[in-house]
Amino acid sequence: MSTKRPRVLVLVCSTRPGALGPAVGTWLTETLAPSALTLDVDLAPLALGDLQLPFLDEEEHPSTGVYHHEHTRRWSAIVDEADGFVVVTPEYNYGMPATLKNALDYLGPEWAWKPVGFVSYGHTSAGTRAVQHAKQVMTTLRLVPLGSTVAIRIADAMREGRLQPGTHLEAAAEGLLAELVRVAHALAPLRERGRVNAVAGPVAGSYARHLAPDDAP
């Protein structure tokens, strides 16, 4: 099993000009910086808009891992390197943003057996309906949603035009990261067995192993 330092990708999903997402992402990474040091984990912020992913344009099914476009291969490498995810998402019409759904649909095996936590924001429901919508898709991809979440009600978090969540949300974010790291470590054997020739022993997805010369007797 790999002993590398866990890498957590913080995905800011909204691409709408003037959206609150970048401010929420900055608050989150700054809040979690001390915890990340304590937990020995790397936080890697990424705005989905910076990827410039078009609507899914690959001919092959994502489960094959055959990608013809450079933007897909770049996205695949980023996700494959991550051990877990924190999704910073708004709620659009009771659902997740199309940018997040599109980014998920691009890939297949790269997502499997990795934990995902949510930091949502919105008005009436603080974005929680977007989280429930996203979980339906993510579990199909073998992502493992956490129980811990952070839900930011915009009206309560804004002070003089600036995002200033309270200490209770800071504590919730720290709890989310701690849970994510625990689950990432627990799922590490499944992720490793999903990689061809990653470890000696069982064939991926089974308790069998390839026969070796020493098995002849």
In the prediction, which pLDDT does 209 show?
Answer: 62
In degrees and rounded to multiples of 5, residue 128 shows phi and psi of -70, -25
Does 16 map to a domain? yes
Give the tens place of pLDDT for each residue, 33-71: 999 999 999 999 999 999 999 999 999 999 899 999 999
Does 1 map to a domain? no
CA gap 217, 214 in Å, rounded: 7
Q: Which range of residues forms the domain containing residue 35?
A: 7-215
Q: How many CA atoms lie within 13 A of 193 on its CB side?
A: 14
Domains in the chain: how many in total?
A: 1
Give the tens place of pLDDT for each residue, 153-205: 999 999 888 899 999 999 999 999 999 999 999 999 999 876 644 444 444 54
What is the pTM (predicted TM-score) of this model? 0.86
Q: What is the CATH number of the domain that holds 152?
A: 3.40.50.360
CA gap 17, 208 in Å, rounded: 52
